[in-house]
Structure 1
């Protein structure tokens, strides 16, 4: 839509409030709202001011003035708010220079798309993230100098099958790692997921499927139709917003935390991706392994080679590495294979249609900032193509069942956020190509994330008391 069309749509829909939204450096949606009377074509040209010093990873207090420029193509009537509200995603600009703000993650994504076209390799990249999440009935957590705890509960949790609280009919709970995917009454969240889907569609998102995931206690997945890079990152922000708010309004709490439950699957975000030139899928070749072209294989080579540093953006929390362990369908080994969910990169084989050929990168999780994570993946893949980086030979077997001596020879993902951050420090030249990422952004990211690691390392863990109290 053009600005004029957005304004007309707002009045046709009876909108009273316009919500201007943007993403901070770490990936959280921020917003402020204006009355619809302030929605004008001038707003789309000159923007609206805000305090950038109060946003994580943005400005210092002495340079705090920043501007949001709304993107009219993102305007949608919010399906969840009581007061009729139109949501518009914005880009961040510096009011002094009039230029896009270098630490705006959305700008990084846009630069990555521009760089792709400038290389001449492809005209567009398509992205299909599968963001998993848990839906709980209750979550409590706290930390102080003398205590620390978390407590999760779910009507679906198998641990509730033996409770003696006067609650009848405690059967039909999925056991650990058995939530994929029996029908109701074992799946108790069918209607709730369907309501989420209805709200996503109302928010302009094309939904392909929803289902229960492997984990007990309400693990879920809802898949969106593929889109170009920045557009999909925009949609993923709306996706998380709709999931959280629909659940909250129904008395549940949704979390995209990668590993909230010990002993069951974590929540990943497998990212399907492909490169196209006009209407030609560049990843397809009938002669290649699993139908892959040389270009696709080199793209995989770049992804696997740079995975340790990619994960500083794509698996960006200390909790991410509780998920990236063997035995829970999380990809620990940096290999690729067709149909193989134990490999870091899987080649889906559901269809023989050349247009469906793509790769699935399984290491990321939904705690990431999608603008930065997608951009980092694209830049790694393009580096692989430009330098014709060959990945290790594909392995069409369960990597978790290999003999110990074979496993030790496989390249593996980092085992901690600290390792990923160290990899990013030592391997980020591919991100700087085309000025897509800047050294300033990378240094700011490293500073923030190193502090998170330090804060975790300084605090006693509850399980340490179980292990060491009697030492």
Structure 2
């Protein structure tokens, strides 16, 4: 008997309990996660997603990872959440994202997301900061080393190893500009895989922090004032962009993005832009939330074209607007809708 670990993941449920179900599963034979793993349910009234009189919500398995905490043969299973009528829960943005990705699969859209986060004590105070004051000004902390510059590296290393064990496509990590702030990168991932891997990486971060007695915050501006905020910069490319002459397609995509700035701002944080308004001020390596801009090697622009891409005339571009607490399904879907499906206007097209 193998233990099947089902995780309720639907934007917010990364903080909810894991549920165990015993089931015979032969992981060494070909099988489809969404077909061969069982559907299950949970009490949606306990998570304010349904009424107590009609509380059961469905868990539909979609992706499976190794469990780095209980080790093999235990698994982590990412599930979509459906309401009693089998329609997606309000926070389940995966289903529509998968549909949109299926429409452009021949263009092989690749994504890489840079997840910034801040380590906090359980009292909400940044980890390692003086209890009655502030650390020295920003400058020596970015990619820093030393106990007086890097706060929480043990957590970062444990999370990285957990992701590697799980099979998450994590590809890097670094200390960020604000002390106690860090970043990890996931990708390249194609299509719907981007959201799946980032959500699991976030779950693993919360779980690792729990063991250390601290908290990981994805707030876009956890500390007001002259401190950097936290984003989730999203790198994007297609097969055409990655081939010779791809810069032409990158520039065409940027032109489409320029005409749809407000639509993307609404899609890039869970409060429709209100969270990002605290971060995208035009200062601290951000663009102004009310203006669209693009440039080569410009970290103060909405869209940055890496210098190497400008030189080689092919590659990818970086959208620097998504907030740290964005839903990766919403971000990647929005990019595909605008750049590849050539949608226009302030509302997504219904297909």
Matched with 1:262 is 224
Query: Among residues 286, 300, 317, which one is paired with 1:342 in the alignment?
Result: 300
The two structures, once aligned, show a CA RMSD in angstroms of 3.3
The answer to which structure has the higher helix fraction is: 1
Matched with 1:304 is 258
For the 8 Å contact 1:134–1:254, the answer to whether it is kept is yes
Query: Among residues 250, 263, 267, which one is paired with 1:313 in the alignment?
Result: 267
Alignment of 1:19-418 (within 5 A): 19-24=5-10, 26-29=11-14, 33-37=19-23, 44=36, 47-51=39-43, 65-71=56-62, 74-80=63-69, 85-92=74-81, 101=88, 103=90, 104-117=92-105, 122-140=106-124, 152-156=125-129, 160=133, 175-176=137-138, 178-185=140-147, 186-216=149-179, 218-263=180-225, 264-276=227-239, 281-282=240-241, 284-286=243-245, 292-293=247-248, 295-317=249-271, 318-332=274-288, 333-350=291-308, 357-384=315-342
SS in 2 for 1:88: strand
| CA–CA separation in structure 1 for the residues paired with 2:137 and 2:336 | 38
| CA–CA separation in structure 1 for the residues paired with 2:175 and 2:23 | 43
Distance 1:68 1:247, change over 3 A: closer
TM-score for both structures, normalised by structure 1:
0.63
Matched with 1:441 is none
For the 8 Å contact 1:91–1:106, the answer to whether it is kept is yes
| CA–CA separation in structure 2 for the residues paired with 1:432 and 1:260 | 34
| CA–CA separation in structure 2 for the residues paired with 1:359 and 1:273 | 6
| CA–CA separation in structure 2 for the residues paired with 1:39 and 1:32 | 19
State the 1:116 CA deviation: 1.9
User: Cα deviations across residues 383-419 of structure 1 (Å, max 9, x unaligned)?
Assistant: 54x78xxxxxxxxxxxxxxxxxxxxxxxxxxxxxxxx
For the 8 Å contact 2:112–2:189, the answer to whether it is kept is yes
For the 8 Å contact 1:157–1:174, the answer to whether it is kept is no
State the 1:211 CA deviation: 1.1
State the 1:84 CA deviation: 7.3
| CA–CA separation in structure 2 for the residues paired with 1:138 and 1:32 | 21
Distance 1:109 1:54, change over 3 A: farther
For the 8 Å contact 1:199–1:242, the answer to whether it is kept is yes
Matched with 1:404 is none
State the 1:337 CA deviation: 0.8
Distance 1:188 1:47, change over 3 A: closer
| CA–CA separation in structure 2 for the residues paired with 1:179 and 1:360 | 23
SS in 2 for 1:75: strand
For the 8 Å contact 2:169–2:197, the answer to whether it is kept is no
State the 1:369 CA deviation: 1.7
For the 8 Å contact 1:268–1:366, the answer to whether it is kept is yes
For the 8 Å contact 2:276–2:323, the answer to whether it is kept is yes
For structure 1, which segment, 369-378 or 38-47, has the greater mean C-alpha deviation from structure 2 after superposition? 38-47
User: Cα deviations across residues 281-311 of structure 1 (Å, max 9, x unaligned)?
Assistant: 435554xxxx612x32221122222221222
| CA–CA separation in structure 2 for the residues paired with 1:331 and 1:238 | 29
State the 1:123 CA deviation: 2.9
State the 1:129 CA deviation: 0.7
For structure 1, which segment, 32-41 or 129-138, has the greater mean C-alpha deviation from structure 2 after superposition? 32-41
Unaligned segments of structure 2, at least 5 residues? none
State the 1:256 CA deviation: 0.8
State the 1:224 CA deviation: 2.0
State the 1:262 CA deviation: 1.4
User: Cα deviations across residues 345-377 of structure 1 (Å, max 9, x unaligned)?
Assistant: 001124689797101000001212211222122
Distance 1:237 1:175, change over 3 A: same
Unaligned segments of structure 1, at least 5 residues? 1-10, 141-151, 162-172, 388-425, 436-471
For the 8 Å contact 1:314–1:365, the answer to whether it is kept is yes
